[in-house]
Structure 1
C-alpha cells in the first residue's frame, strides 16, 4: 500500500494518514519499523487508523517504509504484514541560502560591456525542479556608486553578472560591493558579492628626463661601481607587473660593460660597471636606455620616446700593466730533453703599446731561461722528473718605459718520465739470518723497486746472482714482479756474515740494471732468534782495566785507613802525656 503525505507542522500532528481493517472483529493492530529509525512518526490505533504523530520534513527524509500487523488475542498473526510506503510531499519551507559569506569575483579594467564576470550560485533545500526551489536574483545595492550606479547586471534566474554600462578603471575604484536579493516564491535572502577590478598594463613607463648628460670616467673605474641613477614612473597599479620597471641598454654598449639594477620599491635604476672599461677599445659610449614592464602591454598601447633616455659616457686613458694572452701556461716535455731546447713561448701586450721585457720568477732549480724580448722559454739544465714532476714558476711581463708596470702569469712544466733510474732494494735489509749450524737449506725473501713511474716500468724485475762464484752456494728465484727469494744450496756455511751481491734488471726501454748487496748472517739461535755475544760498547772497561780500577780502589781505602789509624794513635799519646803532668803537680797526702 502506498500513500503520499505533504510535510507537516506541529499543528498538524495526529493527522489521519491511512486506515487498515481485518475482516473479523477483535484483531489487534501494530506497526513494525523495518528501518529502525531513531524517530518513527507514525502510530496505529485499535480501529486500524494510522496517524502522523510528529512533523514530517522532506529535506530530512522524503519517504518511509513500514508494515501494519494484525494479530489475534493470543498474539498469533492473522495475515501477512501489510507493507505501507509513505512519500513526503515537498512544501516551500526553506529560504534560499548564500554559497558563502562573501562571493568574490574579478574583472579586468578593460573588460567590454556585456562580458560575463562570474556567477552567484545560491541554494534552496526544497525539492529540485519544482516551483519551491526556483530562485530569482536582483541587485539591490552597489557600493561605491562611481563613476555611476548600475554598473552591473545579474541574470534573473541564472545569477550570472555582466558589465552593464562601461569599462571599469581601477583608479576609480579597486572593488565594488553588491547586495543581491535571492528569492523563491515565499522567501527572500540577501547575499553579498564583491567584484575586484584587476589592473591591466595600459600605461607605459615615462622617464623623468630624456637626457642624462655627459659622464667622464677613467678606464680603471672599479667593477660594481654605480655611475648613474635613472628614474622612470608608471601610472599602473603599484607593485604589480604592470607598474614594475625593467631598464635595459639598447644602444652604445655592445660589449656589455654596463648593467642596470632596479629598486623594486621605487623603480629607481642604478647604472653599474659590469666589465672593466677600456679606453683603447672604446673611448666614447652613446648610451640609450629603454624602460619596460615585465607584463605585456594591452592591445593598442605601445612604448614610445617617453620610455627611452640617453647619456654619454667618456672613458679616459689610464696607464695599465701588460696583459698576458692567458693566465696559466701548461707545457708537457720529456725529462730527458736536451739542454737548450725551446720549451714554450709566452706573449703579453701592453694596452698603451709599449715594448715588453720578459723574466722568470721562482725558478728555484735554475732549469729554465726566457728570452726577454721574444718570451721564448728554453731549458738550461738537465730536467729530473723524480726531483719535481710538476715544475711551477711565474712569468713576468714588464713594460719598457712609462711606469714600468708589470704583470705575471703562471707557467706549469709537466715532466714525463723516462727509464733513467736503476732498480734498488725497497729498504735496507740488516736482519737477514740463518741459524747456525744450518740443518737444511733455507731461503729469505726481499723486495725491489726503482724511482721511475710504475706505469713506465710496469714493476717487472728480473733477478740474478752478482757473480758466478756464488752459484755453488746460493740461488735466486723470482716470486713475482717485485719480490724474489735468496736460497742456500747446502748446509756447509760458517758462523759469520755473507754479503751476497744480486743483480736486478727493470726490463725498461732501455733496460737498466742495478747491483745490490744482501748481508746474510749465520748465527747461533735462541728460540729461533739470532743470538750473538755483545761486543764492547764505548765507555765499558776491559777486564784489565777493571782489575786496575779494583786495585786502585783497594789502595785508596788502605791509605785512608792508615791515616785514620795514625791520627787515633797520635791523639791517644797526647792524652797520656797530659795525664802524667797532672799527676806530678798534685801534692801527696798523708
Structure 2
C-alpha cells in the first residue's frame, strides 16, 4: 500500500538537513519532529522498516536534473542542496525499502516536501524610471498615478507586504512637498497646489519601498502638461482686397495669413487650424497650415466663377485642435477677413455632364430622334453643336437645339453601343469649344435568320454505305439570345429529299442529319436545311450541308492521284525531271565556255608567261 507524507521545510535548512519516518511491520507509519537539528541538517521525518537489514533508497519522481535529497541506511532523509521557494515551492519523491537481495519489503512511500517562505527577496521597482503626467490645472488631491513595486516572496504574507514613502522631490520649486504617496496603496497625488508649467515642466521623485526587512529606492518622473488656456490671435484682422481672374489655376496660393498662440509650442494646445466660416459657400478656397510656423496658406480649391460670384467677403477663424479649458472662449481676436474680387474671362461652353446616354431600337426609322445634349456658355453667347467621331455616319445633330437624330439604318449586330463626341462652340467671342460624349445603346430586334455555327465543308460518308449513317450540326443566331432562346426548329428544305434524308432535333441548338437508306452515289450532296428561330417576328432561313460520299482508306476519303486537281501524273513528273536536268546542263556549258574565253584573254595580256612564249627550233 502507498503511503503519503506531508513535510514542511524552511528553505534556510540547506545542506544535509535530515527528515525521518518509519515503516511498521504491516503498515507504514510516520513520526514528526517539531524542530530541525541545524547542526545535522536532518529533515523532521524518518522512514524505517521494522526489521533490521533493510536497504533504503529515494526515487526522483519529478526527474529533476539535480535531486536535492538523500537517505542513509537508517532511513534518515537529508537535504543535500539549497532550496529556493521562489524557484520551486514543493518537491515529491518516493522512499523504498528492499532486503539484501533487492526485493521490495513494502510499497514505496510517497513523500511531499513543501518549502516554507522566508523574507529573502527585497522589493523591486516596476521600471528604471516610472513616468507620470499631470495637467497644470489639476486641483490639490488629484490622482497623478499609481506606483506599484513588486516582491518575489509569497503573496499575501508579511514577507510581501510593501510600504511606500516619498523620500525626495527635485526640484523643490515653488516649494517642497508638492506630492503625496499613499503608504500601502502607492497612489501618487498633488499635495499642496496646482502646478504651472512655467514654474517647472518636470519633477523627479524618489520613492522608498520597504517590506519588514528590506528597503529599495525607486524613481518617478512627473511631467507637467500644458493646458489649452490661450486662444490663437491674428496678427492682422483685415487683409484688405484681392482681385483674381476666374481662370486662376487650382492649387494656386493667393494669400498667407498668420495667427499666434501662447500655449506650449508644437502641442495640440498651440497648433492652429484655419477654417473659412463665411463668404465661400461653394468651397472654392481652402487653408492649409505650416506645422512649423502656424502660417495659413489660402489656396484655390475649385475654379472661381465671375458669373455666379464676382465678389466674396471671406472670413477666417483660427482655432486649436485641442479643446479650450472651460473658462476660456474664442473671441474676435481669432477672426480675420479679406474681400475677393473675381474678374471675367472668356470661357468655353460648359456641358452639364461629361457623358450623355440614350437608347433606341436598332430598327428605328432614319430621322428618328435618339437623344439631345445641351451646353451653356458662361458669358451667355449662343452655342452651335456638331458631331465628331461618327465613323459609320449613323447620326446627325441639330446645330441649334442639340437634338440628335438617326441618319442611316442602325445595326446592333455591327455595333451595339455607338459612341460619338459632341462639340459645343460659342458663336462670336473667341469661338471657344468644349466636348462631351454621346453613347447610344442599340436595342436588339429579331432581324437575323439562323445560320450554321461553323463551316461544315468537310462532312463525308464512306461509300458504299453498309448501314444508315448520321452527323450532328450546330446552329446559332446573331441576334440576342432573348429573341431565339436557343429554341431553333429544323426541317428538310425540300420535300423530295424526305425519302433519302431525315433531320431530327437534339436540343435547342443542335440537330442530327441521317440517311434513310444505303443506296447513295459516290458524289457530293448539298442538303438544304430549313431553320426557324421562333422569335418575334420569327426569322427563317435555309442553309446547305455539303455531304460527300467517297471511297475511304483508313477512315478517310481516297481519290486516285490522277484525279486530284493540281497533282501531276507520273508522266508529267518524269517530263518535269528531264527538263530540269536539261536546264542545269545548259547552265554548266555556258559557264565552262566563258571560263575558256577568260583564260585565252589572260595569255594575250601577259606574253612573258611560259604559255605565251613562241617555240624555238
Bigger drift between 366-375 and 113-122 goes to 113-122
Change in 2 beyond 3 A, CA 1:195/1:473: closer
Q: What is the alpha-carbon distance in structure 2 between the residues aligned to residue 477 and residue 318 of structure 1?
A: 76
Q: Deviations over 1:211-243 (max 9, x none)?
A: 222222111112222222222221212222111
Is 1:535 matched with 2:563? yes
Q: Quick one: which of 171, 177, 191 aligns to 1:144?
A: 171
Q: Deviations over 1:95-139 (max 9, x none)?
A: 988666545443221122444545666789999999x98968465
Q: What residue number does 2:418 align with?
A: 391
Indicate conservation of the 8 Å contact 1:138/1:156, yes or no. Answer: no
Is 1:281 matched with 2:308? yes
Is 1:487 matched with 2:514? yes
How does 1:52-63 map onto structure 2 within 5 Å? Answer: none
Q: Report the alpha carbon displacement of residue 525 of structure 1 after superposing the two structures with TM.
A: 2.0
Indicate conservation of the 8 Å contact 1:136/1:184, yes or no. Answer: no
Q: Report the alpha carbon displacement of residue 272 of structure 1 after superposing the two structures with TM.
A: 1.5
Indicate conservation of the 8 Å contact 1:126/1:133, yes or no. Answer: no
Indicate conservation of the 8 Å contact 2:286/2:298, yes or no. Answer: yes
Q: What is the alpha-carbon distance in structure 2 between the residues aligned to residue 89 and residue 450 of structure 1?
A: 95
Indicate conservation of the 8 Å contact 2:164/2:181, yes or no. Answer: no
Q: Report the alpha carbon displacement of residue 339 of structure 1 after superposing the two structures with TM.
A: 1.1
So what's the TM-score if we normalise by structure 2?
A: 0.69
Indicate conservation of the 8 Å contact 1:137/1:157, yes or no. Answer: no
Change in 2 beyond 3 A, CA 1:542/1:273: same
Q: Deviations over 1:239-268 (max 9, x none)?
A: 221111111111111111111112223222
Q: Secondary structure at the match of 2:496?
A: helix
Q: Quick one: which of 298, 304, 327 aligns to 1:300?
A: 327
Q: Quick one: which of 490, 496, 502 aligns to 1:463?
A: 490
Structure 2: tracts of 5 or more residues without a match: 1-11, 13-39, 47-57, 59-66, 71-83, 88-115, 586-617
Q: What is the alpha-carbon distance in structure 1 between the residues aligned to residue 154 and residue 576 of structure 2?
A: 138
Indicate conservation of the 8 Å contact 1:119/1:161, yes or no. Answer: yes
Q: What is the alpha-carbon distance in structure 2 between the residues aligned to residue 477 and residue 379 of structure 1?
A: 44
Q: Deviations over 1:358-386 (max 9, x none)?
A: 11111111111110000111112111111
Change in 2 beyond 3 A, CA 1:165/1:474: closer
Q: Secondary structure at the match of 2:386?
A: strand
Change in 2 beyond 3 A, CA 1:419/1:155: closer
Change in 2 beyond 3 A, CA 1:527/1:210: same
Bigger drift between 110-119 and 374-383 goes to 110-119
Change in 2 beyond 3 A, CA 1:355/1:129: same
Q: Secondary structure at the match of 1:213?
A: strand
Q: Report the alpha carbon displacement of residue 529 of structure 1 after superposing the two structures with TM.
A: 2.0
Q: Quick one: which of 169, 181, 194 aligns to 1:167?
A: 194
RMSD: 4.4
So what's the TM-score if we normalise by structure 1?
A: 0.72
Is 1:319 matched with 2:346? yes
Is 1:358 matched with 2:358? no
Q: Report the alpha carbon displacement of residue 194 of structure 1 after superposing the two structures with TM.
A: 3.0
How does 1:73-112 map onto structure 2 within 5 Å? Answer: 101-112=128-139
Q: What is the alpha-carbon distance in structure 2 between the residues aligned to residue 38 and residue 264 of structure 1?
A: 67
Q: Report the alpha carbon displacement of residue 516 of structure 1 after superposing the two structures with TM.
A: 2.0
Q: What is the alpha-carbon distance in structure 2 between the residues aligned to residue 103 and residue 341 of structure 1?
A: 84
Aligned length: 488
Q: What residue number does 1:33 align with?
A: 44
Bigger drift between 359-368 and 437-446 goes to 437-446
Q: What is the alpha-carbon distance in structure 2 between the residues aligned to residue 412 and residue 434 of structure 1?
A: 52
Q: What residue number does 2:5 align with?
A: none
Q: Secondary structure at the match of 1:455?
A: helix
Q: Quick one: which of 241, 260, 275 aligns to 1:248?
A: 275
Q: Quick one: which of 427, 445, 451 aligns to 1:400?
A: 427
Q: What residue number does 1:272 align with?
A: 299
How does 1:422-461 map onto structure 2 within 5 Å? Answer: 422-461=449-488
Q: Deviations over 1:551-570 (max 9, x none)?
A: 9x99xx9xxxxxxxxxxxxx
Q: Report the alpha carbon displacement of residue 276 of structure 1 after superposing the two structures with TM.
A: 1.2
The structure with the largest alpha-carbon Rg is 1
Q: What is the alpha-carbon distance in structure 1 between the residues aligned to residue 532 and residue 312 of structure 2?
A: 72
Q: Report the alpha carbon displacement of residue 402 of structure 1 after superposing the two structures with TM.
A: 0.6
Q: What is the alpha-carbon distance in structure 2 between the residues aligned to residue 341 and residue 321 of structure 1?
A: 30
Q: Quick one: which of 481, 497, 502 aligns to 1:475?
A: 502
Change in 2 beyond 3 A, CA 1:522/1:121: closer
